[in-house]
Structure formats: C-alpha cells, structure tokens
Structure 1
C-alpha cells in the first residue's frame, strides 16, 4: 500500500505524466524548430513596408522627406523586431508608438497609412483580448477624429488607413483567437494523453497486485508445505516444489499478458486455482458454480475478484472453511465468497479497491460483510453495461 502511494506521488510529480505538466510541456515546445519556423514566418509581413515608398517611383522626395521617411522606417523595423522577439505579443506602448509614427509621417508621404494599419494589426494581437478590442476601437476613433487634418495630406491615404486598418485588425483578432484556441486544444490533448498514461499505470498496478498477490500466496503456502514434508516424504515435497515452479511460470505469463492488457481470465480456470490454493492452505473449499458461457467481459472481472477474495481468505481470515458460489441471474452474474474466519473490521487495501474499480467500470458493485462469524463478499457484474 505504501509503495502504491509512493508510485502515485511520483506520477503526480512527474511533468511527463501529470496533467499540470501539460501546459509546461506545450510552452516548452514554443522553442522547438517547428515553432521557431512559425515565428520566423511572421517576418513575411514586412513585405508591406515598401508600400510606403511607392510614391517615390513617380516623384523625387525632398531632403526632409527622405530623412524623415528612412528614419521612420528604421525606427519601425526596430519596433517590429522587438515585437517579434516577444513572440508577436506587442505591448500597448509599442502599438501607440507605431500609430503615432504613421501620423507623424503623414505630412511627408501619402503612404503614412501603412504604419497605422500595422498598428491595428499589432493591436489585434495584444493580450488580454478585451484590451485588444478596446485599443482597436480607440485607434479607429482617433483616425476618424483626425480626419479633417489627415485628408489634407491625401484623402485616399486616410480612407485606406481607416478601412483597411479595420479589416486587418478584425482579421488579426480572428487569427489570434484561432491561435489561442489551437494552443488550448493542444494543451487539452497533452492532458488527455497524460491522464491516459496515468490510468494505464494504475490499471497495470492493480492487475499486478492481484495476479502476484494470489500466486505468491500459493507459492508461499506450497513452499511451507514442502519444507514440512521434506523430512518425512521426499516425493511429496518434490511434487509440492514442482507445483511451486509451475505456479511461478504461470505467474510470469500472467504478468506479461497483464502488462499488454490481454488478461483473458476465465472463471472456470480461477475456480480450479482457488480450489488448489485453499486445499494447499488446509482450508475446506465448497464451490458451487453454474455455467456462465457467453459473458467473457463479466467473467474476466469476476475472475480477478475471485482471485483477490481467495488470496485474502488464505492470508488474513484464518478460516477452516470457504464457500464460493457463482449464480447467474437474468440481469447479472453474482459471485459470493464466504468464510468462517476471524471476521471483524476490514481495512480495504489496494486489492479490494482495485476490485471495486473493475466492477464499477462495468456498472457492477461490491458488498462486504464481516463479523465474528466470518466474512462474506458479494460481487455483482451486470450483463448489460450501465448507462
């Protein structure tokens, strides 16, 4: 039980399996080559910067315009590089500075709206989303309010800045939302994968506990019997040791199949094994089992329950008699294991908890009664899965 708790603690602390580590792993993936390529891909949006200089193809800029335009472009590229280093998440002051840069260049070149459109695009990528929307609205209202002044430097530039800024900003907002949802979906997938890994580890832990608990109990009982017989009946002691070897080989095979999830346990086989184990422990076994053909899933769960119950009888009950009864009804299979042992209060360990978990998974249940006359375990496996 203690080792089981320590294993669970290790799984919870291990960032490769715990759900809390999923977001950390996804954040770490941002530095992977794929994410680095995606980050570099954002540099393609610099292709719109030359649109500012298109008017120079049919006119010669003055010295002041030339210096102001080149200085403005250099300053914008510096801001763009800074935002790119922030993984495309700009801060409010950076958006405002780019917007004001466009306004400041409006007296020199009709392409000034390129920078205000960039500002709208960056505003859409701000976090939180509420701030992004508010900033976009403020920038649009500012352009509308400054319309009379900006129209003097080119009506078309002002209209394009107003309309294309809104379109680009809205598109950027949608793209940002999509990226955020994709990231949340990736984190959710990581959490599902981590939970599946944890569940599989717990399943293997339960199965190994039940498989090895029963087999090792049988091995211990037969080894003790062989030790008592070796001085009086060497042949009988040899037979018991051969049975120990056979049980060990069988346990090895069961462990292998349990690890890969192909248990295939049958009630008929477990009933025979229970009879052998109880006889070796000098416990009188009374077994009554009706046919249960056609229900392999229920049989597999009840077989594991029978194995755990018989192991507990041999280990803890101190019983002289054990009754095992299997009764199929119209709606379920009912397994009853009763003994005349010491009884008393039962503290459920990992074996009984694993039994409950398996029965609950198929919609069944487990009832345990224990008093001074012994203990009684009733496991019910419905023939139809629970909703």
Structure 2
C-alpha cells in the first residue's frame, strides 16, 4: 500500500516568502519578464511595409538586453526627475538601434515610457505622452503600419495607467494606516489621561479620609480608657476605606470604573463629616433628574469627589453645603464652604481634570469667590434623545 504524504510550508518558510514578496526589488525583477517579447521574432520572419524582410539577430538582441539591465535597476532607485528622463531616453535609444534587426524592439519603447512610481504624477503622465509621441515618430519613419502604433500606444497608456492607479491605491492605504495609527495613539493618550484623572480623584479623596480617620484613631488611643473602643472603630473604618479604594483602583486601571452620582454624594458627605465639618445636603428627587449619559454622570460624580477633597485639604472650613439641582435639560451640582480663599485661585491637576472631564461630557465648571469661602458649580446636560 502506498502512503501519500502532504508537505506543508512551515511558518518560517511562509515568512521568508512574505519577505520576498514585500522586498522593494521584487517588483523590479518581475518587470524583466517583458523582455521575453524580444525573442518572439525568433519564431518567424516578418516584413516591413516595403516588403523587405527583417531577420532576428540574437547577438544584437542579447547586447541590447545587456545594455538595458543596468538602466533598469538604476531607474528603480532614482528619484530625481531629470536623471529619470535621461535613463528613459537611453532606454528609448536602445530600442531605436535594435529595431532594424528585431521588430519587437518596441518593448524598450514601452519600458522607457512607463511611469516611475517615485516621480510625481505630472512627470509620469508627461513621460507616457512623450513615449507615445516618440514611438509614433519612429514607427512612421520606418514605415510601420498604424496598427503597431496603436498597439504600442495602447500598451503604454493602459499599463501606465494601471501602475499609477495601483500606486495611488497603495498611497491611499498608507494614509489610512497612518490615520489609524494616529487615532490609536490619541485613544491611548486619552485613556492614560482618563486613568490619571480618575486615580487622582479617587486616591485624593480616599487618602484624605484615611489620613483623617487615622489621626483621630491615634488621638483616641492616646487618651486610653473608654476612648480605646472608639479608636478601634475608627481603625476598622480605615481598613474598610482602604479595601474599597483598592477595588476601585483595580477597576479604574481596567477601564471599568463608573461611580454613580448618589454613591459619590454619600462618600463626599461622609468624608466631610469625618473631617469635622458640618454638612448640609440638598438633593433633588431622583425622579426629577434628567436622563444622563454614562460619561456625563461619571464626570459629575468625579466632580463631587474632587470638590469635597479640595475642601478637606485646603479650605480650613467649618461648614459646607452640597446641592444637587435638577433643571430642564441639565443636572447641576454645587458646593459652598466658609473656608479661607487665597487671593488668586490657581487650578491644580484636580480642577483641570474636573474641567476637562465635564467639558468632554458637554458640561461646564464654575468657580466663584464668596465672603467667606468658595462656590464651585458643575453642570452636565441631559442625554440627547
């Protein structure tokens, strides 16, 4: 029994073929296949218009090919249009010298006339037209039939147009790939900025709460006695905040974190009270809220956290007021405190991130000095239907 085996190309072999096909000189070598037409006259003998036979000469044909090959590979590397024109003229001259002994020497006319894809479109079209005109003059000088003129002109224009069209398609694809790379880079940059903003807002708020509760637990523990149990409760609260923060950091890095607005308000109120501030909260009924997009609600929730964190860290306030107001077509959050306000408000990373996030969601951020304190207002539009 004969066993037939099937051989398959391994991945390295396929990669070698792919590298070969993509090599810049591969197409240049492929174009040499058209030199085969120079040997067609060896199959039979034809006559010119005056009836004189033209015999095929091997020596002249091989000599012409040897003279053309350096020009062929030089042309593939040149970009200067003046030098390209010189190579094309030399190629055309080889065809003129060979034509009396090889009527397929018009192959060199075609080589000389086809566009060089490194040159401009204007030069390539002019080269094709010049090649058609010069080959027509040469044919008529030798008395060749007009059909040969039409065939050569058709080959030059047809093959040349196809080459230019293929090159235009390649350039278009390259432009699209470049745009895709740019879009991908911008998306990565936006994602990094989003993560940076979220981590700043999340960790800034959480670490502030942890620091306050840890300090309170330390003071209670130092007093001893009945205060010890209170210190233990505060440390348990620190542990819970830390665990919650760790989970949210992981979600943020995974790009899945989307804190709800009510959760943010609750955390802000808890953090402010832990810092020893009196907090007044006014929240519009949930059914009165306009329908918000995910990005809008997330931006407003982060604004709530960042605003409360700034009060805890910098304001030295005693009283704060949190208001969530439902208005036609938008939802507005505001925070007012009675703390100390610097002469000039210099927005840091947190305020800049808050503003950017709100603006990306179609909202806005407003800061206004009070006497004493500061008013911070953030609003986002309702989701478009």
Aligned partners of 2:103, 2:56: CA distance in 1, in Å?
15
TM-score normalised according to structure 1 size: 0.82
How big is the shift at 1:35? 6.2
Matches of residues 1-387 of structure 1 in structure 2 within 5 Å? 34=18, 36-39=20-23, 40=26, 43-59=29-45, 65-83=57-75, 91-121=84-114, 123-151=115-143, 157-232=148-223, 233-292=227-286, 295=292, 297=294, 298-344=296-342, 345-385=344-384
SS of the counterpart of 2:369?
A: strand
Aligned partners of 2:112, 2:354: CA distance in 1, in Å?
62
SS of the counterpart of 2:378?
A: strand
Q: Structure 1: give runs of 5+ residues left out of the alignment.
A: 1-30
How big is the shift at 1:309? 0.3
After superposition, the CA RMSD in angstroms is 2.9
1:140–1:162 CA contact under 8 A, matched in 2: yes
1:112–1:157 CA contact under 8 A, matched in 2: no
Q: Structure 1 residues 60-69 or 335-344, which shifts more?
A: 60-69
How big is the shift at 1:327? 1.0
Which structure is larger by alpha-carbon Rg, 1 or 2?
A: 2
Q: Structure 1 292/42 Cα, relative in aligned 2: closer, same or farther at 3 Å?
A: farther
Aligned partners of 1:109, 1:253: CA distance in 2, in Å?
83
Aligned partners of 1:223, 1:32: CA distance in 2, in Å?
64
2:269–2:279 CA contact under 8 A, matched in 1: yes
SS of the counterpart of 1:131?
A: helix
SS of the counterpart of 2:92?
A: helix
Q: Between Structure 1 and Structure 2, how many residues are aligned? A: 353
Q: Structure 1 256/96 Cα, relative in aligned 2: closer, same or farther at 3 Å?
A: farther
How big is the shift at 1:321? 0.7
Structure 1 moving runs of 4+ over 6 Å = 60-64
Aligned partners of 2:255, 2:16: CA distance in 1, in Å?
34
Aligned partners of 1:267, 1:171: CA distance in 2, in Å?
60
Q: Structure 1 63/55 Cα, relative in aligned 2: closer, same or farther at 3 Å?
A: closer
2:208–2:313 CA contact under 8 A, matched in 1: yes
TM-score normalised according to structure 2 size: 0.83
SS of the counterpart of 1:367?
A: strand
2:110–2:131 CA contact under 8 A, matched in 1: no
